[in-house]
Amino acid sequence: MLSIEQAKQMAKRLRASLEARNQEMNHSAALELVAQQLGYKDWNTASAMLPQEQTPALVKFDKPIPILRMFDEAKAREFYLEFLGFSVEFEHRFEADLPLYLGISRNGLQLHISEHHGDASPGATVFVPMHNIELLRDELRGKGYGYGRPDIVQQGWGQVLEVYDPFGNRIRFCQS
């Protein structure tokens, strides 16, 4: 069965064909003729009875949330919460003595930090596009973190500020 959109395309082609023969027809008259050709009383009836065109479903992604491996909860909290300024969104353990899975965020950036063996490999790099990179550098340097004093490095494609967590993971903040 034809859809409304297909019927409209038929009317458009009919008008173009008639115009090529120097016969003019307005769009509503072409719609009425197409409706009659399809067996309907008029265009209003046809448009009420014809199905809407089915658009194919598109795959749509939300923004990813990187998972980084950790081995020590206290060190992870010191680095991610105290030094980088993230806030805890959630904490999950299947039982009290099992590994921690931690969701953290800061100004739109979400990370998951996991003690679970199969969730991630240490040594990952997360690339984070951002604005106001100098403010972040100044904030981090002002905290006097004992394991790093990050600075901005100018690259051909932008400014980069890298920090390394205690587990070998790297967060590469970048401003174009």
112 pLDDT exceeds 90?
yes
Give the span between the Cα atoms of 38 and 53, in whole angstroms: 16
Across the chain, what does the average pLDDT equal? 91
**Is 62 a domain residue?**
no
Tell me the one-letter amino acid at 146: G
Counted domains in the chain: 2
Give the span between the Cα atoms of 61 and 123, in whole angstroms: 26
134 pLDDT exceeds 90?
yes
71 pLDDT exceeds 70?
yes
Contact 112, 120 (CB under 8 A): no
What is the model's pLDDT at position 50?
A: 86
**Is 57 a domain residue?**
no
Average pLDDT of 44-68? Answer: 84
Average pLDDT of 15-31? Answer: 89
Domain coverage including residue 121: 67-175
Residues 101 and 159 in one domain: yes
Say what the pTM is: 0.67
